[in-house]
Every structure is written in C-alpha cells, then in structure tokens.
Amino acid sequence: MELRQLHLGLDWVHAPTSYDAACLCGRIQFRINEKPRVHYCHCTMCQRATGSPAAVLGWVKKTAVLWGKEHPTEYRSSPVAVRSFCGVCGSPICLAYDGSDEVGIHLGCVSLSKELPPYYHYGIEGRLPWFDAGKELEGTVTSEKW
Ligand SMILES: [Zn+2]
Ligand SMILES: [Zn+2]
C-alpha cells in the first residue's frame, strides 16, 4: 500500500523524520523514515563506486527505507557487501553489508541532505590529501576484511 502511494504521489502519514530520495534520472525513488547516521567513506571501493574522492553515506535501518515502484540494480562488490545503483542512469544508491539490518544510502540522492552533515570519517587509509572536507572530524580505518 505504501509503495503504491509513493508511486502515485499521494499524501503520506508523515513520520517525524523522513527524507525523499531519488537517482539522477528519477527512475529510482524512495523515502527514508529515519534520520541517517552520516559519514564520509574514503575507502578505494567507495571511490570507484562513486567516481569521487569519497562517498558520503547515511546509514538507516533497512526497514526505514520505502522503495517506490522501481528498485535499484544490485552488484556484489565484495564477499561481504552488495552495492546498488540505478540501472538506467548509474547513480549509486546504497551499500549493504551481508547480515546487517542497516543500509548506507549515498547522501547525494537524498533531498534535504544539507540538513544531514557527516559526523566522522571512515576508510581513512584511502583518504586523498587534497580532499579537505570535514577536517575537524574524527576518522578510522576500514575494518572490513575478507
Ligand atoms: Zn536513474
Ligand atoms: Zn567505503
């Protein structure tokens, strides 16, 4: 029912916190009903997956994401995680680790992302010296190993 409402653009019963999100072409549309935990990720996989010096990921419970009619295409990027993207325009959509109840949303997809600044750095072993965003924030190295 909720997915049909999203597709038709009808009114929602608004959660206290919700954010609309979409890919570049608009085919993938979804809503996040939880405030994400936002951080930079500088790992080389996120760099390649986004074509950028770092990813900015916002983590929420998988159950807090309501997908529209179309779902993103999945790509198993490592033995421990799956990345999703729009199969039409290629926008990175999310990252999910196997067995986790959370999903990391690429924040550039999210409306009102200006209200969701990153709080820390991750994967700092891959941090590029000329990428100077968030200098005041703490950082850790990547812990996933496989
Ligand atoms: Zn798209
Ligand atoms: Zn990463």
- The pocket of ion ligand 1, defined by CB under 5 A, consists of 23, 25, 27, 86, 88-89
Q: Is residue 138 part of a domain?
A: no
Instruction: Tell me what pLDDT residue 121 has.
Output: 98
Identify the domain containing residue 27 by its residue range: 2-128
Q: What is the pTM of this model?
A: 0.85
Phi-psi region of 51 (alpha: psi -120 to 50; beta: other; left: phi over 0): left
Give the Å distance between the CA of 124 and the centre of ligand 1. 29
Give the Å distance between the CA of 140 and the centre of ligand 2. 12
Closest ligand to C-alpha of residue 93 is 1
| Mean pLDDT value of segment 45-50 | 97
Q: Is residue 142 part of a domain?
A: no
3-class secondary-structure state, position 39: strand
3-class secondary-structure state, position 92: strand
pLDDT band with cut points at 50, 70 and 90 for residue 11: very low
Closest ligand to C-alpha of residue 124 is 2
Q: Is residue 136 part of a domain?
A: no
Give the Å distance between the CA of 72 and the centre of ligand 1. 9
| Mean pLDDT value of segment 26-44 | 97
Question: CATH number for the domain including 63?
Answer: 2.170.150.70
Q: Does position 145 have pLDDT exceeding 90, yes or no?
A: no
Ranges 1-5, 27-31, 106-110, 117-121: which has the least confidence: 1-5
Q: Taking a C-beta distance cutoff of 8 angstroms, is the pair 36, 60 a contact?
A: yes
Q: Is residue 82 part of a domain?
A: yes
Count how many domains the chain has.
1
Give the Å distance between the CA of 14 and the centre of ligand 1. 25
Return the H-helix or E-strand segment holding 135.
none
Closest ligand to C-alpha of residue 47 is 2
Give the Å distance between the CA of 86 and the centre of ligand 1. 5
Q: Does position 107 have pLDDT exceeding 50, yes or no?
A: yes
Closest ligand to C-alpha of residue 68 is 1
Q: Is residue 18 part of a domain?
A: yes
Q: Is residue 145 part of a domain?
A: no
Return the percentage of the chain with pLDDT > 70, whole number: 89
Q: Is residue 61 part of a domain?
A: yes
For 69-103, letters b (16+ CB in 10 Å) and e give ebebeeeeeeeebebbbbbeeebbbbbbeeeeebb
3-class secondary-structure state, position 87: coil
Q: Is residue 137 part of a domain?
A: no
Instruction: Tell me what pLDDT residue 141 has.
Output: 94
Q: Which structure tokens are listed for 8?
A: 């038709």
